[in-house]
């Protein structure tokens, strides 16, 4: 498995390769712009070329874009919904310009509305986005913990959205281990992991699983608490992660960590995850 982190773009995309290399990353995830606002500046041709050259030279691949924090594709508020769809469209365009394979998005929050209505809004958002941005980049729906009014915490919800929106090639999933555990998928045990993968395969299809977010969980199984924790130090634990990253279905996927940040902590988490590779499971 190729391991990486979400890498800061502070100061510009040209620093991504250097920062990733310092953390011994094989792959990465980035924001393409300020994640805490709606505004953005167009990508400059020179910056795009430098990003492509430096990441290629560093052997950093694959790299995914994660959309900003503010969008909610399930929002019942028409203004926020419109902003959210436009944000996803822009991220898909930017990924195409940068030559990146995936854009990761949270499914959304129902905000008090029925889940079926929220899923319909997400479906409509994906249909519109894919119709407006032709290309090869795939949108990855990230499973949620089910905290608050989040949808997409069950595989059947994600399956329904994908099949309703685009049963073809350009939709897939990014499996977040913390979110899955919090939603009730027991990735901490051998039996639980196997059952979870069987359910994912039967409902969505393993061919749509492109990427992992490797995060331990500070919350208990099924507690719906979205609280990422350091590798091996939460309720999934070292044995759980050892089985996940060495599993024949998962070991060929990229695994990006979104553990609590800091250079010291990142290096500790990278050592922890690499120490679990190829151990007896």
Is 18 one of the catalytic residues?
Answer: no
What is the rounded CA–CA span in Å between residue 30 and residue 6? 6
* Token pair of 170 as six digits: 């350009």
Q: Which of 19, 33, 66, 208 is catalytic?
A: 66
Is 66 one of the catalytic residues?
Answer: yes
Is 213 one of the catalytic residues?
Answer: yes
Q: Residue 184: which residues within 8 A CB-CB, separation 6 or more?
A: 221, 222
Signed CA dihedral, 247, 136, 146, 116: sign only: negative
Residue 53's pLDDT is: 98
Q: Which of 93, 94, 106, 242 is catalytic?
A: 106
Burial class (CB in 10 A: 0-12, 13-18, 19+), 136: exposed
Where do the domains of the chain lie, and which CATH numbers do they carry? 2-274 (3.20.20.150)
Is 36 one of the catalytic residues?
Answer: yes
Output phi, psi for 179, to 5 deg.
-60, -45
Is 106 one of the catalytic residues?
Answer: yes
Q: Residue 120: which residues within 8 A CB-CB, separation 6 or more?
A: 164
Residue 281's pLDDT is: 47
Residue 191's pLDDT is: 98
Q: Which of 94, 121, 154, 228 is catalytic?
A: 228
Q: Residue 6: which residues within 8 A CB-CB, separation 6 or more?
A: 28, 29, 30, 31, 66, 256, 257, 258
What is the rounded CA–CA span in Å between residue 154 and residue 152? 5
Is 266 one of the catalytic residues?
Answer: no
Is 156 one of the catalytic residues?
Answer: no
Is 258 one of the catalytic residues?
Answer: yes
Is 81 one of the catalytic residues?
Answer: no
How far is CA 277 from each of CA 1, 29, 148, 269, rounded to the nearest angstrom? 8, 21, 35, 13
pTM for this prediction: 0.96
Confirm if 133 and 93 have CB atoms less than 8 A apart. Answer: yes
Q: Which of 150, 186, 226, 266 is catalytic?
A: 226
What is the rounded CA–CA span in Å between residue 53 and residue 55? 6
Confirm if 133 and 89 have CB atoms less than 8 A apart. Answer: yes
Q: Which of 124, 201, 258, 261 is catalytic?
A: 258
Radius of gyration of the chain (CA): 18
Q: Which of 91, 176, 186, 216 is catalytic?
A: 176
Is 179 one of the catalytic residues?
Answer: yes
Confirm if 193 and 186 have CB atoms less than 8 A apart. Answer: yes
Is 239 one of the catalytic residues?
Answer: no
Residue 280's pLDDT is: 54
Residues recorded for the chain:
281
Enclosing H/E stretch for 139: strand 138-142
Tens digit of pLDDT per residue, the chain (281 long)? 999 999 999 999 999 999 999 999 999 999 999 999 999 999 999 999 999 999 999 999 999 999 999 999 999 999 999 999 999 999 999 999 999 999 999 999 999 999 999 999 999 999 999 999 999 999 999 999 999 999 999 999 999 999 999 777 899 999 999 999 999 999 999 999 999 999 999 999 999 999 999 999 999 999 999 999 999 999 999 999 999 999 999 999 999 999 998 999 999 999 999 999 975 54
């Amino acid at each position: 498995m190729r391991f990486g982190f979400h890498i800061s773009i502070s100061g510009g995309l040209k620093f991504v390769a250097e920062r990733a290399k310092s953390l011994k990353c094989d792959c990465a995830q980035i924001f393409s712009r300020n994640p805490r606002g709606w505004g953005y500046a167009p990508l400059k041709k020179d910056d795009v070329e430098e990003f492509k050259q430096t990441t290629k030279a560093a052997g950093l691949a694959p790299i995914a874009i994660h959309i900003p924090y503010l969008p909610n594709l399930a929002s019942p508020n028409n203004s926020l919904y419109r902003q959210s769809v436009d944000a996803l469209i822009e991220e898909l365009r930017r990924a195409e310009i940068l030559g990146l394979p995936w854009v990761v998005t949270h499914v959304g929050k129902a905000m008090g509305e029925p889940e079926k209505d929220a899923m319909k809004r997400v479906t409509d958002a994906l249909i519109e986005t894919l119709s407006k941005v032709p290309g090869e980049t795939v949108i990855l729906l990230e499973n949620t913990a089910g905290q608050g009014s989040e949808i997409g915490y069950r595989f059947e919800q994600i399956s329904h959205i994908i099949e309703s929106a685009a049963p073809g090639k350009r939709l897939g999933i990014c499996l977040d281990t913390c979110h899955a555990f919090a939603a009730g998928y027991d990735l901490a045990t051998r039996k639980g992991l196997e059952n979870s993968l069987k359910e994912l395969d039967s409902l969505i299809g393993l061919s749509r699983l492109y990427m992992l977010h490797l995060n331990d969980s500070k919350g208990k199984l099924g507690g719906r608490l979205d609280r990422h924790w350091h590798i091996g130090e939460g309720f999934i634990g070292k044995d759980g992660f050892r089985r996940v990253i060495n599993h024949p279905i998962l070991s060929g996927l990229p695994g990006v960590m979104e553990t609590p940040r800091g250079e010291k902590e990142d290096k500790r988490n990278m050592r922890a995850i690499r120490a679990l590779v190829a151990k007896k499971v």
